[in-house]
Amino acid sequence: MTTAFLVDAERGQALWSINTLTRVLAGADSTEGAMGVWEWRGTSAGNPPLHVHHREDEAFYLLEGRITFEVGEERLHASAGDFVFAPRDLPHRFAVESAEARMLVLVTPGGFERFFAAVGRPAESSGLPPLERPDPEALARAAAPYGVDILGPPIG
- Which pTM does this prediction carry? 0.95
Nearest in space to 17 (alpha carbons), one of 127, 142, 103, 122 = 122
- Per-chain mean pLDDT for the chain: 96
Report the C-alpha gap between 29 and 18 in whole angstroms: 23
For the purposes of burial, counting CB atoms within 10 Å of the CB of 47, is it exposed (0-12), middle (13-18) or buried (19 or more)? Answer: buried
Per-residue model confidence as pLDDT tens digits over 79-106 = 999 999 999 999 999 999 999 999 999 9
Provide, rounded to the nearest whole percent, the portion of the chain with pLDDT above 70. 99
Tens of pLDDT, residues 2-19: 789 999 988 889 999 999
Separation of alpha carbons 14 and 68, rounded Å? 25
The 10s digit of each residue's pLDDT in 16-75 is 999 999 999 999 999 999 999 999 999 999 999 999 999 999 999 999 999 999 999 999
